[in-house]
Structure 1
């Protein structure tokens, strides 16, 4: 069976860089990242591996909502300048890359789902909890820095919801890390309580007459923002990618 290791390139590299004493040292970053990639391959024994990187185009999410990811720290200058060389060196060591047009997330999600649909297995290497919405048995997520699988049960317990409610939860309470707005006045606690009672966003909106006046008013006034937030949080899994799995076969 094909097992594809999908490495969220910027997620891995920026966290390795942040832990370096000298954040200008691209040679050290290259060595540490290559060591991480080799360790990942040794642990997971993939048949294929790909590093996916963010592109430079403005994402459809930012076009839809200009404040999306507003305030994020820009890429360190040394990394921005050194990245093309790093990517070349990774490829020379057998770790080929795929550049997204804009955000890597949708490319990663599409790759994982396409492989799952064709009977393969995908392992996403990232600390980004947004991938938890890909509720497929043959798609799993590995946190390299914690050296463990993403603990879905712990995430569900922390948020007070079920995995299949993640997008509805984001629609209601937003996502501060990505500056997804959610509904004004509906925080994570209220969102979780509503979803525990009514199970879904659609059910909540069908039950506005059963809620307190203030909460019902917030929900009614925030309906468009909830719809927008849901769309922003949802990963696309239907991109047309001009790649072949064989391009990423791991050469042992």
Structure 2
């Protein structure tokens, strides 16, 4: 069975960079990144692996909603300038990269979906909780920094929803980390209570007459924003990647 280890490149490297005491120690960063990738491969024993990087094009989400990810701390210029060299160093050690045109998230989701559709397994290495929306058989998420699988039950308890309700939850309450707006006046607590009572976004909108006047009006006036937020939060799994899996085989002897 094919097992594809998919590493969220910027999620890994930016956290490694933020944790190091000397931001100018780029050679040290490269070694820590390589060590992390090799450790991940040794631990998970994949048949194939890919480090997926964000591209420089504007994402379709930003085009759809210009405030998407607005206000996020930009990548340090020193790190951005070093990335091509870092990727080359990783390639020299047979750690294979995939460069997305824009955001890496949809490429990661598509890779995971395609390998699982062919009876394989996908392990996504990222701390981004958004990947927990991927519920097809064979996909799991690993937190390198916690050295553990993503605890879906803990996430469900924290948010007060089921995993299958995550996109509906973000459509209602938004996602502050990515500046996904949600519905004005509907916070995480209200969103969780609504989904607990009505199970889905569609059911909520079919039951506005059962809600209080103020809440019903918020939902009614926020309908278009909820649809937009759902679309922004949903990962695409249908990209045409034109990749050959054989190019991403892991060679243990080189690790």
Compute the TM-score of the two structures, normalised by the length of structure 2.
Answer: 0.98
CA distance in 2, matches of 1:137, 1:159: 23
| 1:101 counterpart = 2:101 | yes
Q: Following TM superposition, by how much is the alpha carbon of 1:137 offset from its aligned partner in structure 2, in angstroms?
A: 2.7
| 1:164 counterpart = 2:164 | yes
Q: Following TM superposition, by how much is the alpha carbon of 1:251 offset from its aligned partner in structure 2, in angstroms?
A: 1.4
CA distance in 1, matches of 2:96, 2:36: 15
Unaligned runs of 5+ in 1: none
User: How do residues 1-252 of structure 1 correspond to structure 2 at under 5 angstroms?
Assistant: 1-252=1-252
CA distance in 2, matches of 1:112, 1:92: 25
CA distance in 1, matches of 2:173, 2:217: 15
CA distance in 1, matches of 2:244, 2:149: 27
Q: Secondary structure at the match of 1:6?
A: strand
Q: Following TM superposition, by how much is the alpha carbon of 1:171 offset from its aligned partner in structure 2, in angstroms?
A: 0.3
Q: Secondary structure at the match of 2:6?
A: strand
Q: Following TM superposition, by how much is the alpha carbon of 1:25 offset from its aligned partner in structure 2, in angstroms?
A: 1.4
Q: Following TM superposition, by how much is the alpha carbon of 1:26 offset from its aligned partner in structure 2, in angstroms?
A: 1.1
Q: Following TM superposition, by how much is the alpha carbon of 1:136 offset from its aligned partner in structure 2, in angstroms?
A: 1.9
Q: Following TM superposition, by how much is the alpha carbon of 1:12 offset from its aligned partner in structure 2, in angstroms?
A: 0.2
RMSD: 0.5
Segments of 4+ in structure 1 off by > 3 A? none
Q: Following TM superposition, by how much is the alpha carbon of 1:117 offset from its aligned partner in structure 2, in angstroms?
A: 0.2
**Matched pairs, number:** 252
Unaligned runs of 5+ in 2: none
